[in-house]
A and B are shown apart, each in its own frame.
Chain A
Amino acid sequence: QQQVKQSPQSLIVQKGGISIINCAYENTAFDYFPWYQQFPGKGPALLIAIRPDVSEKKEGRFTISFNKSAKQFSLHIMDSQPGDSATYFCAASTSYNTDKLIFGTGTRLQVFP
């Protein structure tokens, strides 16, 4: 019940296209859903996050869509660029559980010119 399932494992998108990564969870107590971006040789960095009181959050070309009833959330990258090529992790946590993040297995995104 603590798992966060992420798909796809890898994604190839052409420059200018839309990249979509999906995550699903079981624990209804999760109330914080961040996405992390990791470049090779670096640690993950917070990209964007959402709480369940909203269904969508947009920051520039990055949008999180959240479906509370389906227990799913997704990351959309509009106008994907080669510089977006990285591994993306979704995660979830509960505010009361010392904020331990449970991570998905990651999606390796490659954007080709």
Chain B
Amino acid sequence: NAGVTQTPKFRILKIGQSMTLQCAQDMNHNYMYWYRQDPGMGLKLIYYSVGAGITDKGEVPNGYNVSRSTTEYFPLRLELAAPSQTSVYFCASSYPQTANYGYTFGSGTRLTVV
């Protein structure tokens, strides 16, 4: 079981460039999430999905887009990178119907926009 796999681990983007952060999970979790982590700010929810074909905005969705065509994959798209998007991005998944569920997080993607 690999859990939640994120790629790439590090990336430097120039302002205005686009990229896709990849996220895959092999636990058959129906819920998936994207968070960004900034120093002293905790984790802020960007987008989430409760199943294939269903996505919704979180607390800080501006500048991002997501898709969920299958249970396993939940990519995050940055269309026009801005310095404010410099952050560490975490993908997570969960299966809330279990009694003591928790989020399984990936190891993160550190993105710098210059």
Assuming A34-B102, A49-B100, A99-B31, is B107 touching A104 (CB within 8 A)?
no
CB–CB B31/A98 < 8 A: yes
Q: Dominant SS at the A interface?
A: loop
B106 partner residues in chain A, CB cutoff 8 A? 43
Contact, CB under 8 Å: B100 / A103: no
Cβ-defined contact, B96 with A100, below 8 A = no
Task: For the complex, give the distance between the alpha carbons of A41 and B9 in Å.
Answer: 10
- Measured between beta carbons, the chain A residues less than 8 angstroms from B33 are 100-101
A49 to B101, CA, bound (A): 9
Chain A residues contacting B31 (CB-CB under 8 Å) are: 98-99
Known A43-B90, A43-B107, A105-B40: A100·B48 in contact at CB below 8 Å: yes
Q: Which of B36-60 contact A (CB under 8 A)?
A: 40-45, 48, 50, 56, 58
Q: In which size bucket is the chain A interface?
A: 20 to 34
Q: Enumerate A45-70 residues with CB–CB distance to B below 8 Å.
A: 45-46, 49
Complex Cα distance A45/B107, Å?
10
Q: B43 and A103: CB pair below 8 A?
A: yes
| Cβ of B109 to closest chain A Cβ, rounded Å | 10
A35-46 vs B, CB cutoff 8 Å, 1 = contact: the mask equals 010000111111
Q: In the complex the two chains form, what is the Cα distance from A112 to B89 in whole Å?
A: 30
Tell me if A89 and B105 are in contact (CB < 8 A): no
A28 within 8 A of B: no
With A43-B90, A43-B92 already in contact, the answer to whether A101 and B42 are too (CB < 8 A) is: no
- Taking a contact as CB atoms under 8 Å apart, the answer to whether B102 and A104 are in contact is no
Which residues of B are found within 8 Å of A49, using beta-carbon distances?
Answer: 100, 102
Q: Which 3 A-B pairs have the closest CB atoms?
A: A43-B105, A46-B102, A105-B42
Query: Chain A residues in contact with chain B, CB under 8 A?
Result: 6, 9, 34, 36, 41-46, 49, 89, 95, 98-106
Given contacts A43-B108, A46-B103, A102-B45, 18 further A-B contacts (CB under 8 A): A6-B42, A36-B103, A41-B108, A43-B90, A43-B92, A43-B105, A46-B102, A49-B102, A95-B96, A98-B31, A98-B48, A98-B96, A99-B31, A100-B45, A105-B40, A105-B41, A105-B42, A106-B42
